[in-house]
Amino acid sequence: MLMNSIKHYHFQVTKTARYATIGPSVEDAKHVMIALHGYGQLPAFFLRKFESLASQGWCIIAPEGFHRFYLEGTHGRVGASWMTKEDRETDIHDYVLYLDALSEHLNLRNRKPVLLGFSQGVATASRWVAAGAQTFQQLILWAGVFPPDFEWKTGKSPLNHMQLDVALGNDDPFFKDSLLTDTASILDSLMVKYMLHRFEGGHSIDSNLLQHIVTPR
């Protein structure tokens, strides 16, 4: 007797998204940054690393990944994720649409903010640059590099029209220098300009280095 085969289907629903900000409003801010958190983080905690910039007139916007979960077991602290390996193409498509909708909601289309991705947020930021509608003046990849499936055909052109910075801690336990070497080779071969920044620290954002990276040069 043959068993019935399992089939998967997709359909669209309306979902309420959440984001957090620190600093002045978008309208009153001197500068605007969109910061994409890493795996297992929530915006309210993630934004603590940006307090110094906020005090200088920056509005930092931290969208929250759609997938919330308990960090340990079935209770306690909650974190969020941008995607997993399960149905990843659909999740990538959805968060690009989500981030574009957030830019529209905040009237950022003509503002050209700075985009920062941290850890898992690096892949999210990279894919948004390649596939989304929002344009940026600067892309900061912190504690990560371009994902293996980055669409260079569509992503190269936006990268050539923005400042690109890569920041890594010397003691980051989640990052292999070989990934950086491979990424540098790709960027060099495509003649995409970038700046590499190393700091004494681990898998975290260094506030002093961040201040240096966003200072016009």
Q: What is the 3-state secondary structure (H, E, C) of the chain?
A: CCCCCCCCCCCCCCCCCCEEEECCCCCCCCEEEEEECCCCECHHHHHHHHHHHHCCCEEEEEECCCEEEECCCCCCCEEEECCCCCCHHHHHHHHHHHHHHHHHHCCCCCCCCEEEEECHHHHHHHHHHHHCCCCCCEEEEECCCCCCCCCHHHHHHHHCCCEEEEEEECCCCCCCHHHHHHHHHHHHHCCCCCEEEEECCCCCCCHHHHHHHHCCC
Per the CB < 8 A criterion, the answer to whether 65 and 80 are in contact is yes
Which candidate, 163, 147, 132, places its Cα nearest to that of 88?
147
To 10 degrees, what angle do helices 152-159 and 120-131 make?
Answer: 90
Instruction: Say if residue 208's pLDDT is above 80.
Output: yes
Query: What are the angstrom distances between the C-alpha of 115 and each of 16, 27, 31, 100, 185?
Result: 22, 18, 11, 13, 23
Which domains occur in the chain, in start order?
A: 22-214 (3.40.50.1820)
- Percent of the chain beyond pLDDT 70? 99
User: Could you report the per-residue pLDDT of 146-204, keeping only the tens digit for each?
Assistant: 888 888 888 889 999 999 999 999 999 988 787 778 778 888 888 899 999 999 999 99
Per the CB < 8 A criterion, the answer to whether 34 and 115 are in contact is yes
As a whole number, the mean pLDDT across the chain is 93
CA 123/CA 100 separation, integer angstroms: 16
What pLDDT score was predicted for residue 4?
81
What pLDDT score was predicted for residue 2?
58
Distance between alpha carbon 83 and the CA centroid of its chain, in Å?
12
Model pTM?
Answer: 0.94
Q: How confident is the model at residue 124 (pLDDT cuts 50, 70, 90)?
A: very high
Instruction: Say if residue 1's pLDDT is above 60.
Output: no
